[in-house]
Structure 1
């Protein structure tokens, strides 16, 4: 058995005591301070009744206490359930009810939402980080009276340490459970495939630490490197932070990169320290990555393909592969991940033909909480995970994602993968952003429908964009309907929300 999540936290704390671990605004904490505070918070949670194995919801925005409270939960043996603060009250209520949480830890800036949740769920205990609500404790105040060494608990590799809600774009609420072993596996996966962290590295976080951005914290902690946290993503502040903190690594979703490219100070920002621009979470428009590489250089860009169920890297597109030939691929398989492609009958897909991607890796979750039917559909007894993504390997071993099985459009008996239509559309000079879905049609069953956001000062009509796609794709793949919009719906983590778009167009 390899090291656990708890082992890795302890190892980083022991090795790098006096180094700066976290920076937020004008505040910073050393490794020793994070270790002590997280231990005190762990004791405080235990004093409030959170025994090992207890599910505790965290409603915490990016801030100085984001990492200490996460580590505290691990040290207390708690199964933490992060809630994205951008979700609605109804979504939070549904999640808390689904997972059965009776304790919530909230950030001081989210006290109003915590109060609303307690009003809706009277049995919910709400404890703040620098705040109080509904008779609950201020954890930071309570922590000052606790020991600076962690609770003496024994953990097993199979203990669930974090339950992450992921609905993807299907609309089905899923609670993916990571264990002590699988979270340590994620750390190894990142270090092995994505970033060789050194003590001199500094990573900037503006995306929510609840999601993929937070995955990088433990590898940096383990190597004595620095984590710089912003409260959110604002292009001007982000560009300033790159220079001020001599940032060496960043993780972006495509929407964020597009916003940086459009920011006034982008071209003049000093990025001489920046070594890695890591991106993933959703497909990157070709026009965006090409422009970014023109400014920052091909040598900095790394793409990963992964899922909440198997983070972070299932496949990686390295800088040397960021060429015209391979930009449409998501990379080669990660070194610690097995990948198979299955046809519609569950058999190995023939070479060169698309199939559902199924994977097996040490970083895979232990299943979904309280979802027997979904678990049976997604996980096999010998460790394989059905991703519901359609992919194909080319002759050189690069994996190309065609689309989600649920997103595929069947028009006149032909299969159309929205992503390849989006890739073609995004190369048109007038197209800033686009999304492609299938909408009902009496003749064709479904038709290819594109929603397009135009660049400021540019113009294009339906016929022009449809013909543009037909130049590079089969005629049945070109949009039969093009709608123009001011924006395109996204999920809480910035991914294209096809389900919401489909539902909107079908009403």
Structure 2
């Protein structure tokens, strides 16, 4: 079954049940499907061709899921843009992907206008509240046909180009097809959860990220998606009771913030399952969470190139004297995992090696990046993750380190070199190095070590603001330390670990 067929199957099976709840609105499966048909026909009528890449600059809302389904039915490839990124980053993504049509929500009309001015040939289309002179997709959908366009689809049709800086620091788009995304849905249903018709998952994280991958599995089973504009601890806890939420997907930062509120001292409402991932979970946090809410937590490990779960630490594995809480779980039943050395040969049992995976849900490759694809794929379907791990005798996987120095701050990937490049554009900076430090709220915080040029005067606040106008806010250093020199190896390579290890000393977890 292809991904678009899953959309049709869910609509056919559960027509008059509620599928999506947003604020005080409810949409049934029939209403979502019919709106997706109208939006698909409006996209086609606006000149979007089969296989064309369409940029999406939208947040969470009542139209997010119908628009995703509409792109499937129009045979368009979605290129979601994280609203938190800078205009420079958005422009690079759109230009790199060859996007000609950008759909934006009213709250992001200003950014859409800026991008339309910067990129020749980019057509901006509003999704309600369009700027003067721009077409409005919702208005066009009202007069469009409600019939499914039924365009023929193939398993290798690319339906999603999701940009990530991953572990290499270079923005690149991981491509997923009709077949691989359908395998992602099956992967979730097989390894993580099995929702029923009375279940509800709460979505507060952006649906363009991991949270959005849970929509279609719940859709297939006739369950609901309750969508919030964003994450606020008090609002989130209230929504669990308001919508009768049974399942939640949280990153460690969100869980930490919830536990800090008085209302999270006991399990809220009907909640019976919490799935977490995207960044390392500090052991004290998960232990506190289990004391408050019970053994309802399941961890997954995956990446944009092979979502959602390469391995799973089930709820049952979180309890008992031998609970491997430092592990990211055992390999998923539909994923083959090998740990290899730098030559691609399997390492001895118990030894650390790079995680490689072969699975039906792995990406088809990076967009227009033949050299990177050659370095990422080992042949015979095996994909490098650039994560280093070891596996114990019970088959539990333990992440040891990354082959890069990527920082995961609030579940967002920050690559030090990108921040360093921004810092180096300031005339007062002679040298710099960026690392991650432990942080109670964000798990990891970006810290910059800077050597000033002789005679230059600059403050940490000034440097942070200098970065802020060039990169997304979560990439801005939370702290700037001025040092006389940056430690280097004999060949001049920056020794980040010498800067990072003292920051993590006593943190209760190695980095």
3-state SS of paired residue (1:295): helix
- Cα separation, partners in 2 of 1:425 and 1:75, compared to 1, 3 Å: closer
- Cα separation, partners in 2 of 1:203 and 1:160, compared to 1, 3 Å: same
3-state SS of paired residue (1:274): coil
Task: Confirm or deny: 8 A CA contact 2:437 2:444 kept in the other structure.
Answer: no
3-state SS of paired residue (2:134): coil
Q: Which residue of 2 aligns with 1:309?
A: 305
- 1:206-225 equivalence runs, <5 A: 206-225=204-223
Q: Which residue of 1 aligns with 2:495?
A: 446
- Cα separation, partners in 2 of 1:437 and 1:90, compared to 1, 3 Å: closer
Separation in 1 of the partners of 2:489 and 2:142? 69
Q: Which residue of 2 aligns with 1:284?
A: 281
| TM-score (normalised: structure 1) | 0.82
Separation in 2 of the partners of 1:153 and 1:437? 50
TM-superposition CA deviations, 1:424-480 (whole Å, max 9, x none): 989xxx99955699984258973645779xxxxxxxxx79x84x47xx99xxx8x9x
TM-superposition CA deviations, 1:115-157 (whole Å, max 9, x none): 1111112411111111223632111111111111211311100
Deviation at 1:181, TM superposition (A): 0.2
The question of 1:27 aligning with 2:73 is answered no
Task: Confirm or deny: 8 A CA contact 1:126 1:134 kept in the other structure.
Answer: no
Q: Which residue of 1 aligns with 2:172?
A: 174
- Cα separation, partners in 2 of 1:258 and 1:177, compared to 1, 3 Å: same
Unaligned runs of at least 5 residues, structure 1:
410-421, 453-461, 480-507
Deviation at 1:18, TM superposition (A): 0.2
| TM-score (normalised: structure 2) | 0.82
Separation in 2 of the partners of 1:431 and 1:275? 24
Q: Which residue of 2 aligns with 1:485?
A: none
Unaligned runs of at least 5 residues, structure 2:
408-434, 450-485
Deviation at 1:262, TM superposition (A): 1.1
3-state SS of paired residue (1:250): strand
Separation in 2 of the partners of 1:341 and 1:120? 45
Q: Which residue of 1 aligns with 2:84?
A: 86
Task: Confirm or deny: 8 A CA contact 1:62 1:231 kept in the other structure.
Answer: yes
Task: Confirm or deny: 8 A CA contact 2:436 2:500 kept in the other structure.
Answer: no
Task: Confirm or deny: 8 A CA contact 2:257 2:441 kept in the other structure.
Answer: no
Q: Which residue of 1 aligns with 2:271?
A: 274
Deviation at 1:423, TM superposition (A): 13
Separation in 2 of the partners of 1:442 and 1:190? 44
Deviation at 1:281, TM superposition (A): 0.4
Residue in structure 1 matching 2:368, options 361, 364, 370 = 370
Task: Confirm or deny: 8 A CA contact 1:437 1:448 kept in the other structure.
Answer: no
Residue in structure 2 matching 1:349, options 343, 347, 350 = 347
TM-superposition CA deviations, 1:87-122 (whole Å, max 9, x none): 111111111111110100111221111111111124
Stretch deviating more after TM superposition (214-223 or 139-148)? 139-148
Separation in 1 of the partners of 2:373 and 2:385? 12
Separation in 2 of the partners of 1:110 and 1:436? 27
TM-superposition CA deviations, 1:279-312 (whole Å, max 9, x none): 00011011111111110012x1000000111110
Q: Which residue of 2 aligns with 1:240?
A: 238
Task: Confirm or deny: 8 A CA contact 1:407 1:437 kept in the other structure.
Answer: no
Separation in 2 of the partners of 1:50 and 1:424? 45
- 1:66-77 equivalence runs, <5 A: 66-77=64-75
- 1:45-444 equivalence runs, <5 A: 45-133=43-131, 135-267=133-265, 271-298=268-295, 300-323=296-319, 325-407=323-405, 433=443, 440-441=486-487
Residues paired across the two proteins, number: 443
- Tell me the C-alpha RMSD between the 2 structures: 2.7
3-state SS of paired residue (2:365): coil
Separation in 2 of the partners of 1:432 and 1:133? 36
TM-superposition CA deviations, 1:214-252 (whole Å, max 9, x none): 000000000000000000001110010011111100101
